[in-house]
């Protein structure tokens, strides 16, 4: 199993790069960035708060690291034309000497679409657009020229030069819906990602397998990843507070090293190839780098 870090987009740049460089030297496998322009808000209104733009930050990290896989988790196809997404991905793959994972999603956050004047559309419209965008992106990354005419996108004899360093730059599809999202992943994904606890992940992974079989694709061709909030500590009072906190439905790993290892083992048994860990819930007393070190030294080796 691979283990990757997910720095919060709200940290200052110097903290993001410091953590990623630390993870580079301590045995982590990758680093992912979310693609947002502002914090979310419950009523869809614009929200204040610093947010580093994903693609420019990713390019900077590509120049500051040498080993880590770097990815988007995930880039919304609503924000950029898929042809420009392919160009940016190919360029960052060149800068990083072939370490990019291109994570794509259909888009969901209402307030940033409204504030920036970007059409979000209904769920059906988003999924239609997402499917077309994936077709454009994958073709441009793997073919000398791309021509595509759909309802939402049209490109004509479009080049993508320089091409990616990787012969097949991995496209990660973030999706969970059995009617639209997982079939799109079955068609386009080299890797698939979904927030899920181990049992839910197992169920969705089986659904993805069935979607692959329906189109004649070998499900083993798609690697699988997920993420869970990490609360790792020996401080029982602090852990008790976290267990009593509403995490908004997000899957969590809470406990000592042995207790967290049990959860990681359940993910491994469910077929997870890569576990991605956000840094924004790590123990404030121990600090992010200390928690990262403890996880990668005490827990990760059991599953590699």
Domain boundaries, the chain: 2-224
Helix (H) or strand (E) holding 118: none
Q: State residue 175's pLDDT score.
A: 98
Alpha-carbon distance 89 to 79, whole Å?
14
| E strands present in 64-183 | 69-72, 75-76, 100-105, 145-149, 154-159, 171-174
Measured in whole angstroms, the distance separating CA 115 from the mean position of its chain's CA atoms is 24
Output the tens digit of pLDDT for each of the chain's 304 residues: 999 999 999 999 999 999 999 999 999 999 999 999 999 999 999 999 999 999 999 999 999 999 999 999 999 999 999 999 999 999 999 999 999 999 999 999 999 999 999 999 999 999 999 999 999 999 999 999 999 999 999 999 999 999 999 999 999 999 999 999 999 999 999 999 999 999 999 999 999 999 999 999 999 999 999 999 999 999 999 999 999 999 999 999 999 999 999 999 999 999 999 999 999 998 665 589 999 999 999 999 999 9
Task: Give the distance between the most distant pair of CA atoms in the chain.
Answer: 61
Q: Which fold has domain 2-224?
A: TIM Barrel (3.20.20)
CA Rg, the chain, in Å? 19
Q: Which backbone phi and psi does 145 adopt, to 5 degrees? A: -140, 150
Give the pairing of strands 154-159 and 145-149. Answer: antiparallel
The 3-class secondary structure across 4-46, one letter per residue, is EEECCCCCCHHHHHHHHHHHHHCCCCEEEECCCCCCCCCCCCC
What pTM did the predictor assign?
0.96
Alpha-carbon distance 143 to 138, whole Å?
8
Q: State residue 287's pLDDT score.
A: 86
Q: State residue 33's pLDDT score.
A: 98
Measured in whole angstroms, the distance separating CA 34 from the mean position of its chain's CA atoms is 7
Contact of 27 with 299, CB cutoff 8 Å: no
């Amino acid at each position: 199993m691979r283990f990757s870090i997910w720095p919060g987009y709200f940290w200052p740049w110097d903290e993001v790069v410091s953590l990623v460089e630390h993870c580079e030297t301590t045995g982590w496998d990758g680093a992912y960035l979310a693609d947002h322009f502002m914090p979310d808000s419950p009523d869809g209104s614009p929200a204040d708060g610093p947010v580093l733009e994903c693609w420019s930050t990713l390019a900077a990290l590509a120049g500051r690291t040498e080993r880590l896989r770097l990815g988007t988790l995930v880039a919304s196809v609503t924000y950029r034309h898929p042809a420009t997404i392919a160009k940016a991905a190919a360029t960052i793959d060149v800068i990083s000497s072939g370490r990019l994972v291109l994570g794509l999603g259909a888009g969901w956050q209402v307030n940033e679409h409204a504030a920036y004047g970007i059409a979000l559309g209904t769920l059906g419209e988003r999924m239609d657009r997402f499917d077309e965008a994936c077709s454009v992106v994958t073709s441009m990354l793997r073919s000398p020229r791309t021509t595509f005419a759909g309802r939402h996108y049209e490109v004509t004899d479009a080049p993508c030069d320089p091409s990616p360093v990787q012969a097949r730059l991995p496209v990660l599809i973030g999706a969970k819906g059995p009617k639209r999202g997982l079939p799109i992943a079955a068609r386009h994904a080299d890797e698939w990602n979904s927030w899920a606890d181990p049992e839910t992940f197992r169920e969705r992974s089986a659904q993805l397998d069935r979607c692959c079989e329906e189109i004649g694709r070998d499900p083993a061709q798609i690697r699988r990843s997920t993420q869970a909030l990490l609360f790792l500590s020996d401080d029982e009072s602090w852990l008790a507070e976290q267990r009593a906190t509403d995490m908004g439905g997000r899957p969590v790993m809470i406990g000592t090293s042995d207790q967290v290892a049990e959860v990681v083992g359940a993910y491994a048994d469910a077929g997870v190839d890569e576990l991605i860990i956000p840094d924004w819930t790590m123990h404030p007393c121990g600090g992010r780098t200390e928690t990262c070190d403890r996880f990668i030294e005490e827990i990760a080796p059991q599953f590699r």
